[in-house]
Each structure stands twice: as C-alpha cells, then as structure tokens.
Amino acid sequence: VVVTLAVDGPHFDQYTGGVYSHEPGFYDKNTALHGMLLVGYGKHGEDCWILQNSYGTDFGDEGFMYLKRGTGKALGCCSILVSPTYPKV
C-alpha cells in the first residue's frame, strides 16, 4: 500500500529510528507531502505503522520508519490515512 505523509521536511529528514510522532502544522512553510510504502504494522514500544522509504538504507532504521498508529485523530499521524492507494490486479 502506498501512503502519503504530511511531514516537516527538516524534522523528517533527521529521523534515525524509534516511533515517529512529530505532527507538522499543515500550512507550515516546511510541510511537504511525501510518499512511502506501508509494509506492515506492529509494536516498536508502542503501536506503529511500518513504512519503507525510497531514500535507501541511510534513512531511518535501515530505510524503514515506524510511525505512531492509533492517535485517535481521523487522519492519523502525519495524515497517513488520507489517501492510501493499492493496485487492482
């Protein structure tokens, strides 16, 4: 499943591991949309989505990111629930 995240560029680019829960201001000048591959969900100390980034293994945890899940917000953390997309075969 491909998802789009609303992220704060400078903060997002510095992610090195753990569960990411930084919420950018949607109209903040640093907010950008970024596509990632949703590959699973689980617990990494807390409920999270497991995402794979296109930046390669230098990003996050060997190319993966753990995003807070179950925030109680309709759109989810970083608006992950806005536009998930999957192929129809």
Question: Does the pLDDT at position 39 exceed 80?
Answer: yes
* Residue 25 in domain: yes
Query: pLDDT digit string (tens) for 10-27?
Result: 888 899 999 999 877 666
* Residue 8 in domain: yes
Question: What's residue 54's pLDDT?
Answer: 95
CATH number at residue 63: 2.40.50
* Residue 68 in domain: yes
Question: What's residue 74's pLDDT?
Answer: 87
Catalytic positions are 34, 53
Report, as an integer, the average pLDDT of 15-40.
85
Q: Domain span at residue 11?
A: 2-79
Question: Does the pLDDT at position 53 exceed 70?
Answer: yes
Handedness of CA 70, 72, 78, 81 (dihedral sign): positive
